[in-house]
Chain A
Amino acid sequence: MNKELEHKFVTELETNQNIVHKVCSLYTSDKDAHKDLFQEITIQLWKAYPKFRGESKFSTWMYRVALNTAITLYRKSKRRVTTQNYDSVIFKIKADEYDPTEEQQLKLMYDAIRELGDIDKALVFLYLEEKNYSEISETLGITEVNARVKMNRIKTKLRTILNP
């Protein structure tokens, strides 16, 4: 691995690190686990980087490796119990002006997302990142139709939480 490649990679990673942080926040529930997963994703990205030919955007490629690491490769430590009092950044509410209704709604939705399974979380994540269904289907390895059906179910579920 030459210096040039290292430099190119780290620079790209630095610019796009938000994606990795978001994935980590979604899949872990405390700071140590977040750091752990971030590191593992970084290692996996770097290992796969020599094969990255630039046929897709760096960020697109990153989504896939980051999610695969979070869902499949990363082993959660069993000792870590989900602490409810710790709120990772991603679940902190950032409504524009203080609006009790909005804040309440967001809180309910973030709570619901936190309870979702690994695969559903990935779907919601890609949806919130405004990926289209063809990209979602390619990332997860399911058909576009099924991705759409599943996402609609999750959306309905989230809406029901807001308007019971």
Chain B
Amino acid sequence: MTDGLDLLKKDWQRKGEELPQLSYDELYKMIWKKSSSMVKWIFYISIIEFVFWALLNLLSYDKDSLAMEKEWHIFEFSTVLTIINYVVLVFFIYMFYKNYKQIEVTDSASKLMKSILRVKRTVTQYVWFNIAIFCVSLGMFLYGSLRFGKESVQIQEAASNAGNETLFWIMVVGTIIIVITAIVILIWLFYRLLYGILLNRLRANYRELKKLEI
């Protein structure tokens, strides 16, 4: 009896005659069509993220906030934070560009997947960095406004009048932590969903290949 696999191979070789054949002109037209590959999607999403977070962090700043910061004694701290932000933004853009350039469709499947995941990781790190900066700024402004803001005297008086000052501050800090946690969870869920949809198959295939390496 012939081996089933030989039969399969023979049948496979014969497939050629049955396959559709495109003409030179059809193929020529095709090479100018727009790609809709995964890499392109990752690229667009990354650009949107860079622009979004950069705008959020760097444009929300005006003359009023400068005066306020001085009044609240957080000017130096805020300036340092802004400088860090710029430096890190440039660093991430450089890393993103470098990793993106390394994506080569002619690499082996395993290497290609790794390069794509690396680009994605850089962008995710950038987003987490921004969330961290956002939380620190929020803490800084709350501290400034409660200590030096217009209403800070009343707030502090109200706290001592209420009798239990420690409890009041615990509640303030507690509320802040809850709000920040909620925001971070929401952002995290958003990214899980976004990259989940985009990268699920790639991750599964990459794991499959890695399993073969052991």
Give the interface of A toward B (CB within 8 A): 6, 9-11, 13-14, 17-18, 21-22, 25, 38-40, 42-44, 46-48, 51-52, 61, 64-65, 67-69, 71-76, 89-90, 92-95, 102, 105-106, 109, 117-120, 122, 128-130, 138-143, 146-147, 150, 155, 158-159, 162
Contacts and interface: CB of A to CB of B under 8 A. Distances in A.
Contacts of B14: 94
A42 B30 contact: yes
B170 interface: no
B11 interface: yes
B205 A140 contact: no
B90 interface: no
Nearest to A35: B20
Contacts of A105: 4, 7
Interface of B: 3-5, 7-9, 11-12, 14-16, 18-24, 27-28, 30-31, 33-39, 41, 104-113, 116, 198, 201-202, 204-205, 208-209, 212-213
B108 A141 contact: yes
Contacts of B4: 105, 109, 158-159, 162
A158 B5 contact: yes
Given A61-B106, A128-B8, A72 B31 contact: no
B56 to A, nearest CB: 29
30 contacts: A10-B24, A10-B27, A11-B24, A25-B19, A42-B33, A43-B30, A47-B35, A64-B106, A68-B107, A68-B112, A71-B109, A72-B113, A72-B116, A73-B105, A89-B19, A94-B18, A95-B7, A95-B11, A109-B4, A109-B8, A119-B109, A119-B209, A119-B212, A120-B208, A128-B12, A130-B9, A139-B109, A140-B209, A141-B108, A142-B110
B203 to A, nearest CB: 11
A43 B31 contact: yes
A142 B30 contact: no
B99 to A, nearest CB: 16
Contacts, number: 160
A93 B109 contact: no
B90 to A, nearest CB: 29
A119 B205 contact: yes
Contacts of A129: 12
Nearest to B104: A48
A159 B5 contact: yes
A158 to B, nearest CB: 6
Given A17-B22, A143-B213, A40 B37 contact: yes
Rank and list the top 7 A-B pairs by shortest CB-CB distance, nearest first: A141-B110, A141-B108, A73-B37, A46-B31, A21-B19, A162-B4, A128-B12
B106 A102 contact: no
Given A118-B208, A158-B5, A159-B5, A90 B15 contact: yes
Contacts of A109: 4-5, 8
A109 B7 CA distance: 10
B27 A155 contact: no
A43 B11 CA distance: 30
Contacts of A22: 15, 19
